[in-house]
Structure 1
Amino acid sequence: MWTAAFWGLAGGSSLVLGALLGLYAPLNKTWVALIMALGAGVLVSSVAFELMDKAFGQGGLDAVSIGLLLGALAFFLGDLAVNRAGGKHRKRSSGQQQEGQASAIVLGTLMDGIPESIAIGVSLLAGGKLSWIFVAAVFLSNIPESLSASVGLKRAGHRPIRILLMWLAIALLSAMASGLGYAALRGADVNLTAGIQAFAAGAILTMLSSTMLPEAYEEGGAMIGLATTCGFLAAFTLSHL
């Protein structure tokens, strides 16, 4: 459990790194969008080859299909609730966060990261081996996410220290989610663990397609497609070396 929590923290720690970059070394909005698209491509590849493929090998098509669709539905409904509560612009870099509620922004950001953390913990259940490619994908994708959101929160008038504490708390909660995910499912049926992995994959894919990529395209334009493809290729290459 502690090993799972450690790796969950390792993946989530880049949220703080991205926040520091956004607050004290802000990049041009186009560069932020390109980095976001690169991270999204890395995650898409990892979801396909590090989560879904391995989950299919354990539980078969029925378990992964049900898990994937339930994960997508759960994120969709959660995202809808968070958006209505005022967290719609939580990843924007132009200061739109001032239009929403801080609590909804925090809740939405936490909701975005929990499926990734659970997936890290559950991946250790499959033979006790960690998918370091997936941890690296989570680490890389978190940087542009917190970077962009931190720039927007700062422009909306939030104090830097509060922004940093928010990301630190989310990183710690990510570690807890990984550890608890491992502890709760230890000894569980392989079909269940495969379904949970697919559930996380469905939530991640829905998050990428409904929040991360549209916002990246809005700021970066047509180049976003190339950046996403490059991220996908990078993760695919690493997973086959």
Structure 2
Amino acid sequence: MLQKLIIFSGIAGITVFIGGVLAHLFNHHVKESPVKYEITHTMMSFGAGIILSALALVLIPKSMEELSLLPMALSFLIGAGLFLVLDQYLAKKGGQTATLLAMLMDFIPESIALGAVFAIEPKMATLLAVFIGLQNLPEAFNSYRDIVQSGFSSKKTLIIFFFLSFSGIVGALIGHFVLSDYPDLTALLMGFASGGILYLLIQDIIPQSKLEHKYLPSLGACLGFLVGIIGEKLI
């Protein structure tokens, strides 16, 4: 059972590194052109759609199932408020890490949830691992671009992504051994993550994905959300 949990959470996490590698190849081996620019923004919108689907279909519903109104609202507001402060700090520093933060705010709570439900509903956990992996790919693709633009080298960024890939295993193990008996604590974590993700989406990610007189990025967001709907329906 433990071996399967590590394998599934590892597969879900390795797509962070794969997304970074694909972004590296795309940036260095595809010539600059309006088409490349539109593809980049479409991928950003696609990732935003998947993040939004995780927020609407997984994190908030699971949090609302376990919590009463007040703790749910407080955890959500604390998440939004903390990331407002963090976003202001990063803006002063000149960083562009909103997509990376949104990915981690999504990836880590879902990995913890994966570990918590694995012993109870293995089938659901397996599909959840696939869903998480699909989310991480476009999110990592977009995060690579943000981090490189904020001053990191390609090599250093890929190293960061490689080690981040294993955070899903750590989160799943924590969920399995620590939080499986405390659903309220897991729900608080999901509510907190929801507030932070929604703030980052509205403040940073969605505005950056828009292109004047281009409509493909908006369709990309719809397709990303559809991926989330399909994943939730399968689970």
Instruction: Bin the TM-score by the shorter chain.
Output: 0.7 to 0.9
* 2:45 aligned to which of 33, 37, 40: 37
Q: Does 1:187 align with 2:181?
A: yes
Q: Percent identical across equivalent pairs?
A: 20
| Aligned position for 1:121 | 112
| Aligned position for 1:18 | 19
| Aligned position for 1:240 | 233
| Aligned position for 1:165 | 159
| Aligned position for 1:202 | 195
Match of 1:20, as an amino acid? V
SS in 2 for 1:125: helix
| Aligned position for 2:77 | 69
CA distance in 2, matches of 1:134, 1:168: 21
Aligned length in residues: 223
| Aligned position for 2:33 | none
The alpha-carbon deviation at position 112 of structure 1 amounts to 4.6
Match of 1:239, as an amino acid? E
The alpha-carbon deviation at position 64 of structure 1 amounts to 2.3
Whether the 8 Å contact between 1:7 and 1:135 is mirrored in structure 2 is yes
The alpha-carbon deviation at position 3 of structure 1 amounts to 6.5
Q: Does 1:59 align with 2:60?
A: no
CA distance in 1, matches of 2:100, 2:74: 25
Q: 1:64 to 1:113 in 2, by over 3 A?
A: same
| Aligned position for 1:80 | 88
CA distance in 2, matches of 1:197, 1:156: 28
The alpha-carbon deviation at position 132 of structure 1 amounts to 5.2
The alpha-carbon deviation at position 168 of structure 1 amounts to 0.8
Q: 1:54 to 1:151 in 2, by over 3 A?
A: closer
Q: Does 1:47 align with 2:40?
A: no
| Aligned position for 2:208 | 215
CA distance in 1, matches of 2:134, 2:167: 18
What's the TM-score, normalizing by structure 1?
Answer: 0.73
What's the TM-score, normalizing by structure 2?
Answer: 0.75
Q: 1:209 to 1:3 in 2, by over 3 A?
A: farther
Match of 1:75, as an amino acid? F
CA distance in 1, matches of 2:70, 2:211: 36
Q: 1:90 to 1:191 in 2, by over 3 A?
A: closer
User: More displaced, 137-146 or 198-207?
Assistant: 137-146
* 1:224 aligned to which of 198, 217, 221: 217
CA distance in 2, matches of 1:199, 1:152: 24
CA distance in 1, matches of 2:93, 2:148: 20
CA distance in 1, matches of 2:84, 2:129: 24
Q: What root-mean-square deviation, in Å, do the aligned CA atoms of Structure 1 and Structure 2 show?
A: 3.3
User: More displaced, 38-47 or 132-141?
Assistant: 132-141
Gaps of 5+ in 2: 31-35
Whether the 8 Å contact between 2:46 and 2:221 is mirrored in structure 1 is yes
The alpha-carbon deviation at position 83 of structure 1 amounts to 2.6
Whether the 8 Å contact between 1:41 and 1:227 is mirrored in structure 2 is yes
User: More displaced, 68-77 or 136-145?
Assistant: 136-145
CA distance in 1, matches of 2:149, 2:200: 24
Q: Does 1:147 align with 2:138?
A: no
Match of 1:18, as an amino acid? G
Match of 1:22, as an amino acid? A
Write out per-residue CA displacement over residues 79-136 of structure 1, whole angstroms, 9 at most, x where no aligned residue.
Answer: 222332332x247xxxxxxxxxxxxxxxx83675145213321354357345556544
CA distance in 1, matches of 2:126, 2:70: 26
